[in-house]
Amino acid sequence: MKRLRGTLFDIFGYTAERRHERGQIREFEQDIEQVMRALSVETIADAITLARLPETIKGFGHVKQRNAGHAASQRAQLLKRMGLLATRVSQT
């Protein structure tokens, strides 16, 4: 079954939850690229916290959704504090 993951035959990859997860991954990658361009001594602690946010999104179903909501609000605060929130509108 592992060989089917990420292919057209991965029927579980079409659920709203999985599509949302893939969107979060893309958003995280964009955040890291943006933070790396603006990284400074003043922003390094916030950058590390931002990089660790995906580790907090655990669980399944409503538990994972709640954790993702907490991470999204923390993400917005960190980006705002680093002066990066205004440069890109959140997709979540």
- 8 Å CB contact between 73 and 56: no
Tell me what the mean pLDDT of segment 11-28 comes to. Answer: 85
- Rounded-to-integer distance, Cα 45 and Cα 2, Å: 37
Contacts of 60 (CB under 8 A, 6+ apart): none
User: 47-70 burial, b for 16+ CB within 10 Å, e for fewer?
Assistant: beebeebeeebeeeeeeeeeebee
pLDDT in tens, 42-92: 999 999 999 999 999 999 999 999 999 999 999 999 999 999 875 554 444
- From 38, 45, 29, select the one nearest 91 (Cα to Cα): 29
- Supply the pTM of this predicted model: 0.75
For the chain, which residues make up each domain, given as ranges? Answer: 2-86
